[in-house]
Amino acid sequence: MADEALAPGLVVASFGRHLLVESPDGQRRICHPRGKKSQAVVGDRVAWRPSHDEGTIEKVEPRRNLFYRQDEIRTKMFAANLDQVLVFIAAEPEFSEHQLARALIAAEAERIPALIALNKSDLVEPFERAWGRLHPYQQMGYGVLPLSLRLSKDVDRAHLLSHLQGKTTLVLGPSGAGKSTLINLLAPGAAAQTGEISRALNSGKHTTTSTTWYWVDEARTTGLIDSPGFQEFGLHHLEPTQLAPLMRDLKPHIGQCRFYNCTHRHEPGCAVIGAVAHAEKQGEHRITTNRYKIYCDLFDELSEPPRW
């Protein structure tokens, strides 16, 4: 009988122990987790119990996936039940390929498809340089979308929607890339909705540090999740030996090394090192020197003993 009093809902915003839950009819209310620690994140389907004008989350439904990062001290859970991750970067300021790689590895670890969007195509020379840096990712099979949100909003909106329609997409990107412009372009009511969430959570300007779900369409079939935290993207939830299988350019060479437990760092007969040495030869599974350096840097980072 107890479960009959529970209502279904979707977590659409979070800030600390405050969660905003949307009912199937579109109504939203503040809910709090039962107990001291909140296990629910944006994108979770939950069962909650009404209590006056708020509610209590009693159960988090099983997830299809959970996208998160982890540094040496804490875990940051971005969102759950995603259909894809959109990494939004720009020709200027110059994006960090290390951060891009980290986000893509985290997506691969959860088997979430990833898409890359490169903004500011109107800046011709910087865009050409940035587009060239992304060529290896295109070879790996990642979709890379050229955009100019400043000059061709309508065209770019239609282009993006063709990739987002009917899906739940987490948008990640560094400051300065134009992510806020992107969100407001795709979800015209986003700014007003952010204000409503801020008032509801009574958290003022701090709401900008929280993760938020926006509906793109009135039918509520296409969802965008905006989340901060791209600058510091730790992968400490992964073991060093898990990295290579999660990097699309390294993965095809795994199993071809002389030693079964090859770390792809220094061993003789390593197929990955061999592929890097012959990277100048155009091939289907080439590994650039820069990508291999990213692998080595991450391997070393994850191999360090904990500092606590």
264 is in an annotated binding site: yes
> Any known ligand binding at 296?
no
What is the number of H-type helices and E-type strands within the chain?
8, 13
Is residue 79 within 8 Å of 227, Cβ to Cβ? yes
Q: Is 177 annotated as a binding residue?
A: yes
Helix 289-303 to helix 97-109 angle (10° resolution) is 70
- Is 205 annotated in a binding site? The answer is no
Rounded Cα gap, residues 128 and 91, in angstroms? 8
On whether 203 is known to bind a ligand per the annotation, the reply is: no
Is 2 labelled as part of a ligand binding site? no
177/172 Cα distance (integer angstroms): 10
Tell me whether residue 181 is annotated as binding: yes
Distance CA 70, CA 258 (A): 32
The answer to whether the annotation marks 255 as part of a ligand binding site is: no
Q: Is 179 annotated as belonging to a binding site? A: yes
270 has binding-site annotation = yes
Structure tokens at 306: 């904990």
Contact 241, 263 (CB under 8 A): yes
Answer yes or no: are the C-beta atoms of 307 and 236 closer than 8 Å: no
Name 66's bridge partners.
Answer: 80
120 is in an annotated binding site: yes
189 is in an annotated binding site: no
Q: 262 a known binding residue?
A: yes
Q: Which residues fall in the annotated binding site for Zn(2+)? A: 257, 262, 264, 270
Q: Which residues fall in the annotated binding site? A: 119-122, 173-181, 257, 262, 264, 270
Q: Which residues fall in the annotated binding site for GTP? A: 119-122, 173-181
